[in-house]
Amino acid sequence: MTVATPRRFVRADGPDKVTGSGRYTADLTFTGMLAAKFRYAEIAHGRITRLDTTAAQAISGVFAVITDADVPDVRFGPFVADRTLFARDVVRFEGEIVAAVAASTPEIAARAAAAIIVEYEPLPLVTDLEDALTAGASLVHEHWAVYGSADPVVRDRNDASFSSITTGDVDAGMAAADLVIESRFVADGCHAVPIEPRAVVAQWEGNKVTIWTSTQVPFDARAGVCETLEMPASRVRIIVPHLGGGFGGKCGFHYEAHVAALARVAKRPVRLVFSRREEFLAPDRRREGMVIDIRTGVRHDGTITARTGWMAMDNGAYTADAGFFPQLAAMHIAGPYKIPNVSVEAHLVYTNHQPSGSVRAPTAPQACWALESHTDEVAAAVGMDPVAFRKLNAVDTGDVGPSGQTYGEIGVQQCITEATRLVGYGETPLPHDEAIGVAIGWWPSFAVPSGAYIKLDGDGSGQIITGAQECGTGAVMTLRQLAADELGMNPEDFELVYQDTSVAPYDMGATGSQTLFNNGRAVVAAAGQIAEQLRNLAAEFFEASAADIVLADGGAYVAGSPVATVSIAELAGIAASGELLIGHGSGTPPATPQLVGSSCVGDLGMAAFVAPQFSCHAVRIRLDRDTGVVRVLEVAAAHDSGTIINELGALGQVEGGVMMGIGQALTEGTVYDDEGRQRNAGLLEYKLQTCADSPVIRTHFVQIVTPDAGPRGAKGLAEAPNVATAAAIANAIAKLVGTPVRRLPMTPERVWEALQS
């Protein structure tokens, strides 16, 4: 169906950000405030034999030095309770926190942290994913078996979480194939790299603490502080000032409790601000490295008969929120294809690397890169054009996916058509050094509870009070548009009150592309309650039926008589002397689709995709064969994300996701030395894409209203543009090189080596 193009409006947080008047966490100052600094492990694996803070405590200007001995004995973790606030007996990666200091200046705090004496007994390094899964491998966690874990996480030694998806009879499917194609790919880990390094400020008032922090998930941060410092939620308040990006890297909880503990001991406010190097080394949210094997059976006519997949993912030293990633990755290796026989398994592997976690579309860009590179290999093996091969095998409305989910109306076929049209695929011959690659991807919409309040003041202006978190995507800003449309008002008529756990109802935070999908439903429900109140007031005013009242253009009128209008402000003024105009909503999450004919081990809810998003990216590149340098010239991105609510914000998300995907494809990858330490923990060594690298980006939205999804049939969007970009670039490179580049990122050195082979 055709959906009207949404109108554009100015973001509520826009003026503060573009004028520089907006305050971020690092801008906050309080009387008597101290600076925090951490002492890190600085080695990847070792047993602590001596920890002496005496010299640090003796430095003038130092107010507090704390270690594991100064906080409650609590192990925590959302899926596996494998972590403590400070290193306890053993350090397991170089950025692990051993101690924390609060001092009068950042310089004194840094000097005191450096003065802490830590001595270690070296322990064997665990860095190879496949070796780590063997029976005789050294253990990252010797006592892993006693750690608590969420049900039904499956664990074994260095296997922190295991999942599988099985459908049909793979052996029979392979036997029915005319050809069986096997591929192996290896992806390096990489970073979120938000421009704002993380910062935390904590201040105590009696037995209550207020924490200002650059987190994407304020309620999760509050829960972490409550758990690790053993405090009730009523005594912990989390406030998020403006957030300078996150991309998943600022999800989860960790440093808020450290700073709160320092402030309690020091009896002063304490502020922590990471350096850029710390931002690379310490956080437990890094995109996971992977080893991926894929095997596909196919008939000569291009029909896929079976697929197997095996992958190992670099969990790093602690599990963070990555416990469900194996199942998510397994879905991406199976792919959005019609395959009757599937057997895919994925392992999340402990190593002595920095912990991995939710970075924009976790597991999907690497898995899609491997799968779609493999898909081009399969198409070539049967002599089919790769686009025609995808159109033949990709799921469509009414089809059954690889895990047994039947899809309603979806737009992956339209995405393939539109992306290839926008880039001119197959229309004219390209220069000898140019090629177009195509890839499809998918991503779930995360259905979780959320809440919002709305109230109208006596002057007709409104307030939206929401627990939703704004990390730069504009999703929270779009809530004003939803409320305005329900009430016949303008988005600019509403003020947003958000990012404060003591004011707003619960929300999961800026993670999983879920804000508009879930909180949008809550806002629509809350606005609907107020709309009902306004119609009743207007019905009394006009002596008409409430069912005949229309709310539009800032007023109310009786249907068929738009000349006689009463303004929202007048109605609100009437209500102010009696009933207050207040609404609340919780936005009941959609049900998870049913699966038929499949079985899953370690099922953590990702074997079925709620309101699945689909995309196709087509990328034109130029290759310098002498150097291996790849330049992305043009990207066409077609997305099925349901109804688009805020077109300008949606376009920004696609363009940003594409640019992030280009970086992951060509330049971004963590490099480790032989001792398990990062060698490129800085922006000079870790190459991000900039405006100078940006290609032409053309976007098309296949707008299919999705029932039982987000508001007005919307799906998620923010993570999906990051899924297929690297894969499309890889397929374009393979056309020019003659073989896939089997390691991500596809740096000039790796492309050049593939050319030589």
Q: Residue 385 maps to which CATH number? A: 3.30.365.10
Amino acid sitting at position 455 = K
Q: What is the dihedral of CA 651, 657, 658, 660, to 10 degrees?
A: 150
Residue 431 lies in a domain: yes
What pLDDT is stored for residue 17 in this prediction?
Answer: 87
Each as own residue / partner, the long-range contacts of residues 110-116 (CB below 8 Å, 24 or more positions apart, any chain) are: 110/37, 111/59, 112/37, 112/56, 112/57, 112/59, 112/62, 112/65, 113/37, 113/38, 113/39, 113/56, 114/39, 115/55, 115/56, 115/59, 116/39, 116/51, 116/52, 116/53, 116/55, 116/56, 116/65
Domains identified in the chain, total number? 3
Q: What is the dihedral of CA 607, 610, 612, 613, to 10 degrees?
A: -120
Residue 81 lies in a domain: yes
> Which among 273, 300, 316 is the end of a domain?
273
Are 704 and 658 in the same domain? yes
- Interatomic CA distance for residues 533 and 578, integer angstroms: 12
Are 428 and 508 in the same domain? no
- Interatomic CA distance for residues 170 and 153, integer angstroms: 25
Length of the chain: 757
Helix axes 475-487, 520-542, angle to 10 degrees: 20
Residue 281 lies in a domain: no
- List the 270-273 sheet strands across, edge first: 62-66, 97-103, 34-40, 270-273, 199-205, 208-213, 236-239
Are 77 and 211 in the same domain? yes
Are 77 and 22 in the same domain? yes
3-class SS at 311?
strand
What pLDDT is stored for residue 8 in this prediction?
Answer: 63
| Residues contacting 360, CB < 8 A, separation 6+ | 192, 247, 248, 657, 660, 718, 719, 722
- The residues pairing with 210 across neighbouring beta strands, listed in sequence order, are 203, 237
Are 568 and 614 in the same domain? no
Residue 206: alpha-carbon gap to chain centroid: 36
Residue 145 lies in a domain: no
How many CB atoms sit inside 10 A of residue 263's CB?
27
What pLDDT is stored for residue 587 in this prediction?
Answer: 76
Residue 525 lies in a domain: yes
- Interatomic CA distance for residues 97 and 86, integer angstroms: 5
How many CB atoms sit inside 10 A of residue 738's CB?
9
> Which among 531, 550, 585 is the end of a domain?
585
What pLDDT is stored for residue 99 in this prediction?
Answer: 98
Are 535 and 628 in the same domain? no
> Which among 242, 273, 304 is the end of a domain?
273
Cβ pair 159, 589 in contact under 8 A: no
Q: Is the dihedral of CA 394, 397, 399, 401 positive or negative?
A: positive
Residue 481 lies in a domain: yes
Tokens of 602: 């370690």
Are 577 and 625 in the same domain? no
Q: How far is the CA of 100 from the CAs of 116, 118, 201, 224, 259, in angstroms?
A: 10, 13, 14, 18, 8
Q: Whole domain around residue 381: which residue ranges?
A: 362-446+609-756
What pLDDT is stored for residue 1 in this prediction?
Answer: 32
Which residues in the chain show pLDDT less than 70? 1-9, 578-579
Domain harbouring 114, CATH code:
3.90.1170.50
What pLDDT is stored for residue 562 in this prediction?
Answer: 84
What pLDDT is stored for residue 4 in this prediction?
Answer: 42
- The residues pairing with 434 across neighbouring beta strands, listed in sequence order, are 622
Residue 550 lies in a domain: yes
Are 533 and 392 in the same domain? no
What pLDDT is stored for residue 14 in this prediction?
Answer: 85
Residue 133 lies in a domain: no
- Interatomic CA distance for residues 437 and 574, integer angstroms: 62
| Residues contacting 624, CB < 8 A, separation 6+ | 433, 630, 631
Amino acid sitting at position 616 = C
Are 42 and 113 in the same domain? yes
Does the pTM surpass 0.85? The reply is yes
Are 508 and 497 in the same domain? yes
Q: How far is the CA of 594 from the CAs of 45, 388, 484, in angstroms?
A: 44, 30, 35
Are 459 and 565 in the same domain? yes
Amino acid sitting at position 515 = T
Are 432 and 462 in the same domain? no
What pLDDT is stored for residue 2 in this prediction?
Answer: 36
